[in-house]
Structure 1
Amino acid sequence: MTDQARLLLASLINTLTEGGHLRSTAWQQAAEAVPRHEFLRGGFFRRVQDAVPSAWEPVQESDPGWLETCYSDESLVTQVAGTIVPADIRGRIMREPTSSSTLPSLVLRMLEDLQVEPGMRVLEIGTGTGYSTALLAQRLGEENVTSIEYDEDVAARARTALGRLGIHPTLVTGDGLDGYADGAPYDRIIATCGVRTVPPAWIAQTRPGGIVLATVGGRLGPSELARLTVHDDGTASGPLLGGQVSFMLARPHLPPPLGLLPDMSVGQERGTSVGADVLDGWTSRFVVQAAVPEAQHLTLEHDGCREDVLIDVASGSWALHHDGRRWTVRQDGPHALWDSVEEHLQRWREAGAPDLARCTLHVTPGGDSCRW
């Protein structure tokens, strides 16, 4: 590592410590031993300021400011559109990010929240660039770390970066939602991708008393970090840790295309006492999302009024909320989506409309549920 890289790493460590993200000596020492720039040798994408729609431009290792940005506390996009990396592009690209190097403060916060002890065996879901994998190996020993990555190209780049540093944990290419049974049971499982529901395999592959740390979210956007303790009966429960943590959803959990919208002039219409503003706030939208986990949200305009639509592509259910002189909702399909929204919001409000950090997530074979 060059003198400049050492200085930049030391400055980043100081920032993370002062910010409360690095809280223990053990993780501080691990972070000091892992140069982040080694995992960004292929470059990254920088968002083009003020571009509408969002656009990205590549930053290569040879470009000015590359090294300094590697040691900034920000997420750096390393792949867009499922296959495209910085070396593939000259100019700009207007596609969605599909892989990134997560901001170091969140990586270290999660590793602290994982509550590991020496000798514990950890399964990481989502190798990504390999940076967090290296931190785990540095803290626990490479023999205690298994990491699984869905994307073969991303996995290959991570393997190369880890190899340059002489770090050789067990690296697997496959669907992380299935875990990795060959190495089970694990003391800890940590996921660096978002999921709509906690996969049963993660619970089954964690020893009783072990911990699963995962970001649980959905198709309406909000997601929160959950620390789940696995019980003897195959269930798990634990708190949401707060902080509006966001990760890209695991690819199998991404929403399907909306396709052709249904005829929204049909269906049953009624008044509602719940305004569409519940779809704006982070916490209330998380509650709505728990009520209708398959639904996607879009807004329309009709006669100068806003209309909010929830639509479940798989079942064909939809609800249209009209924000006129009075609130009305029209819905159709096998599931009355807005009825479920009202029911969940009522329970949440009866509990005092608490912050998400006061929520306990319960994972059972029947699904996930929040209790206030």
Structure 2
Amino acid sequence: MSTELHTATSGRRAAMVERLESEGVLADPRLRDALLQVRREVLLPHAYIRVSGPDADPIDWRLLDGSHPDDQAEWLDLIHSDESILLQRDGEPLDALGRGPVTGGHMTSMSTFTPATLEALQGLRLAPGLRFLDLGTGPGVSLALAAAVTGPGLAAGVERDPHMAAFARRNLDTLGLGAVVVEGDALDGHPAGAPYDRIHSGIGVPSVPPAWPEQLAPGGMLLTTLATRTPSWPGQLLITRTPAGRIEAVLKGRPRGYRPLLGYRWLTALDHRARIRATPGMARLTPLAPPADDAYGFWIAAAYLAPGLVRDFQAETMTIVAPEDDSWAVAGPGDGTVRVYRSRDVWAELEAVYARWDQAGRPDTYLVDIPDGAGPQHVTSGTGPKALSWALPPLATVPPQPS
């Protein structure tokens, strides 16, 4: 790396840290030092930029090559921003990518945007000497930051894609942080290095793989996203193992979460957007005003108790779609009415969930019972007949990743 580029990247890291602190995103002094130490340009040497609009198929991309002088300024801005960095299309090899325009493919690996990474790592309260496991490690940004805090030889990552695992391993070795990347299925954890004091999952799962809590040390913490088929309302699950060895788990609705494991099929409202604009549906009165975006306890319950729904966040008024039932609901705006279309009255289901949530005391957190082994995992807002409760779906079977 040239002296000029080294100076530029050091300055970008310092500016990034200052900005994150001023925005209240970064509070942990150990992670502050790690962000200043970890050279993001090594872990993220290239980045895809989406050129075409949200409805385009196939998608047009442009690849920025950080080693090319014509790309460096834009690349440096991007990798030190809060954006998620797109790195790999369709599980492609990463050692001979060509810069410039490319068409087609879908992203199979990316770095999580920095505020979400910091939220997760600060929630785990990292400290020197703790054993750390990163699941679905991708390019290794979270793993590198954790290793900078815990110390050499204590942080390991598991990555399923062989090309991404080799890419992350090579770049982390360049940084010299003493972090290890293992190629394998993140759902199995990494038993060879267990038990772990902290486990971070960079992938969303429908329920908790039995191997994860089994590999958690007494006093340890595990953080993951519980992903439903809708990307609209993810849940954050914090699992702790008490000093006596008992597993406790708390679920919170969140505005964002990690993408689900490979092979998980998202619902999308994009295919219905034009039809909804043309035919929003029949108007009827409703007692339910559009629930607030930050009523996370309600939305995470709706993800399970009114399944198969997705929100179009680009719509002018709240629009909820049931893609597989070709039905939708368009709220308001602000006149006590809702418009519903086709056979499934989506809004009536949300009215029912909201009433139950209100009767349960409007919980914003839920307890999750995770039994030993592969038994059903149950969620509840508490005890008594008015409590909200549901069972988590089983883990999906994911085909092996081709080499």
Same fold (TM over 0.5): yes
Alpha carbons of structure 1 residues 4 and 203: separation in structure 2 relative to 1, 3 Å: same
Partner of 1:248: 259
What amino acid sits opposite 2:302 in the alignment? V
1:309 matched to 2:297: no
Partner of 1:156: 166
What amino acid sits opposite 1:360 in the alignment? Y
| Offset, 1:186 | 1.1
| Offset, 1:234 | 5.3
Partner of 2:40: 36
Alpha carbons of structure 1 residues 118 and 167: separation in structure 2 relative to 1, 3 Å: closer
**Cα distance in 2 for residues equivalent to 1:248 and 1:277:** 26
CA contact (8 A) 2:207 2:226 kept: yes
Q: How many residues align?
A: 337
CA contact (8 A) 1:146 1:171 kept: yes
User: Which structure 2 segments of 5+ residues have no match?
Assistant: 269-283, 313-318, 331-336, 383-403
**Cα distance in 2 for residues equivalent to 1:277 and 1:325:** 9
| Offset, 1:322 | 7.8
**Cα distance in 2 for residues equivalent to 1:149 and 1:35:** 21
Partner of 1:220: 230
Secondary structure at the aligned position of 2:97 is classed as helix
Residue 238 of structure 1, aligned match among 250, 268, 274:
250
1:59 matched to 2:58: no
| Offset, 1:90 | 4.4
What amino acid sits opposite 1:152 in the alignment? P
Q: In the TM superposition, what whole-angstrom CA distance separates every residue of 1:107-132 from its partner, at most 9, and x where no partner exists?
A: 22221111123221111112111122
Partner of 2:139: 129
1:359 matched to 2:365: yes
What amino acid sits opposite 1:6 in the alignment? S
1:23 matched to 2:33: no
User: Which structure 1 segments of 5+ residues have no match?
Assistant: 258-270, 300-305, 312-317, 332-336
Partner of 1:190: 200
Alpha carbons of structure 1 residues 20 and 298: separation in structure 2 relative to 1, 3 Å: closer
**Cα distance in 2 for residues equivalent to 1:158 and 1:326:** 49
CA contact (8 A) 2:311 2:321 kept: yes
| Offset, 1:285 | 4.3
CA contact (8 A) 1:184 1:205 kept: yes
1:288 matched to 2:310: no
Partner of 1:303: none
1:45 matched to 2:56: no
CA contact (8 A) 2:160 2:185 kept: yes
What amino acid sits opposite 1:362 in the alignment? V
Q: In the TM superposition, what whole-angstrom CA distance separates every residue of 1:23-44 from its partner, at most 9, and x where no partner exists?
A: 1222111111101111112x11
TM-score, normalized by length of structure 1?
0.77
| Offset, 1:298 | 9.6
**Cα distance in 2 for residues equivalent to 1:307 and 1:239:** 23
TM-score, normalized by length of structure 2?
0.71
CA contact (8 A) 1:142 1:170 kept: no
CA contact (8 A) 1:45 1:76 kept: yes
CA contact (8 A) 1:146 1:172 kept: yes
Alpha carbons of structure 1 residues 251 and 234: separation in structure 2 relative to 1, 3 Å: farther
The two structures, once aligned, show a CA RMSD in angstroms of 3.7
Alpha carbons of structure 1 residues 6 and 233: separation in structure 2 relative to 1, 3 Å: closer
Partner of 1:77: 86
Percentage of identical aligned residues:
27
